[in-house]
Amino acid sequence: MVALLLAAAAAGAQHTQLPADDRIRLAEARRLANAIQDSVWPGWSAAPFAVLLVTDSVEYLLWHPQPSADFQALGYDSLLATDVLARPRTFPPTFLATFPAVGGVVTIVVGEPAKTGKTSTLWVLTLLHEHFHQLQMSRPGYVAAVEGLGLSHGDQSGMWMLNYPFPYDSGSIQRYFAGLAEVLLRTALADSGPPRTDALRGYGRMRRALGVELAPADLRYLDFQLWQEGVARYIEYASARVAARSYTPSPAFAALPDFVPYGDAARALRAQIVRELRTVDLGFNKRVTFYPIGAARALLLDRTTPGWKARYFTSPLTLDP
C-alpha cells in the first residue's frame, strides 16, 4: 500500500509539473519583455505580467501577486524567477485573452502553441500583444473611460467588447472599410519614403466619411477597437522588429524545433497585415477586421507623428482626433 501511495503521489506530481517546452517559452517571453518593452513603448515595464497557462488538464499561474485559494503551490522556479501554482483546468486550452481572471489582477490567459495555432516565436510575440493589454487595462481611469463609452448596456462581464452589434453586414460600411484599407496600404505600408500628401488626405476623407455613415455609438466602438486591439497587433510587429535588431534569444528557446528568428517573424507579421488589408472582408471577418486596420493606423502614426505614443493615454480610446 505504501508503494502504491508513493507511486500515485509521484504520478500526481508529474501531472502538475510545468511542461518543459512551455517553461522555456514562458522564460523567453519574460526575458524578451524585460529586454525590449520600454524601447517598444515608453513605460510598458510598469504593467503587470501575470500569466495563466492553460494546458489540457491543468492551469499554471506565474508572476501573479495575489493567487486565489484554488491554486496549489508547486514551488519556486529558478528559470522563471517566480513561484508556480496550479489548479485543474477551467478555461478552454485554445484561449488567448487578457482580463482580471485571477484575484482581480489583469492576467494573460493563454493556451499552448499547439492549441492556439502558433509557432513558439509567434506565441511569445502574442504574449507581448497580451502583455500590452495589461498596460492598457491597468492604467488609471481605464475602466471609467470604457464605461463612459456607453456601449456595455449593463454587461459587467466584458463580453460586449466581442459581441457588440456593429453593422458588419452593411454594404456601404464594407465599402468604406475597403477604401480605408487601400489608403492605409499606400500610406502606412508603402515600401519607402514618407506618405504622399494626397494619400494622407485620402485617409482623412475616408475617416470622416465613416464618421458620417456610422451611428455615434458604432463609431465609438470602432475607435475603441482600433485603439485597443489594433495597437496590440501593432505591438507584436514592433516587438519583433526591435528584437531582431537588439536581442538574442536564449539558447534553449532557439533550440526548439519550431523556433523562427525574430527578423523572420517580423517579416511574416508585416506580410500578414498587408495581406489582411488587401483582402479586407468586414462581413466575413467582422471584429477581426479592426486588428490590421488599427495596426496600420499605428504604423501610419509612426511615420507622420513620432510623439504619438506619449499622447496615447492622455486622450484615450481613439487614435484619431
Residue 319 is assigned to a structural domain of this protein: no
**Domain range enclosing 279:** 151-311
Assess whether 113 and 192 both reside in one domain. no
134 and 162 in a single domain? The answer is no
Same domain, residue pair 10 and 107 = yes
C-alpha of 270 from chain center: 15
pTM of the complete model: 0.92
State whether 76 and 192 are in the same domain: no
Q: Is residue 145 part of a domain?
A: no
146 in a domain, yes or no?
no
What is the predicted pLDDT for the residue at 12?
Answer: 41
Structural domain contains residue 78? yes
User: Does 221 lie in the same domain as 132?
Assistant: no
pLDDT in tens, 248-286: 999 999 999 999 999 999 999 999 999 999 999 999 999
Domain co-membership, 118 together with 216 = no
Q: How far is CA 159 from CA 52, 145, 151, in A?
A: 19, 17, 11
User: From residue 225, how far is each of 37, 107, 214, 306 by CA, in Å?
Assistant: 22, 19, 15, 22
From first to last of the 321 residues of the chain, give the pLDDT tens digit: 445 433 433 334 444 699 999 999 999 999 999 999 999 999 999 999 999 999 999 999 999 999 999 999 999 999 999 999 999 999 999 999 999 999 999 999 999 999 999 999 999 999 999 999 999 999 999 999 999 999 998 888 888 999 999 999 999 999 999 999 999 998 888 776 677 777 788 888 999 999 999 999 999 999 999 999 999 999 999 999 999 999 999 999 999 999 999 999 999 999 999 999 999 999 999 999 999 999 999 999 998 888 999 999 987 799 987
Place of cell 468586414: 282
Last residue of one domain, picked from the residues 138, 162, 180? 138
Q: Which of 138, 161, 185 is the last residue of a domain?
A: 138
Q: Give the pLDDT confidence score for residue 269 in this predicted structure.
A: 98
One domain for residues 123 and 157? no
Longest dimension (CA), the chain: 81
- On whether residue 317 sits in a domain, the answer given is no
With respect to residue 26, please indicate whether it lies within any of the assigned structural domains. yes
CA separation for the pair 160, 154 (Å, rounded): 9
208, HSE (Cβ side, Cα atoms, 13 Å): 6
> Sign of torsion, CA 109 115 117 122?
positive
Residue 321 maps to a domain: no
| Residues 56, 97 within the same domain | yes
Domain boundary among 109, 138, 167: 138
Residue 294 lies in a domain: yes
How many domains is the chain built from?
2
**3-state SS class at 87:** strand
Query: In the prediction, which pLDDT does 108 show?
Result: 98
Identify whether residues 75 and 185 lie together within a single domain: no
pLDDT of amino acid 97: 95
Identify whether residues 297 and 169 lie together within a single domain: yes
What gap in Å lies between CA 273 and CA 232, rounded to an integer?
Answer: 13
Reported as a single tens digit per residue, the pLDDT across 94-110 is 999 999 999 999 999 99
Looking at the fold, whether 21 and 96 belong to one and the same domain comes out as yes
Do 95 and 212 lie in a common domain? no
pLDDT value at residue 16: 66
pLDDT at 192: 66
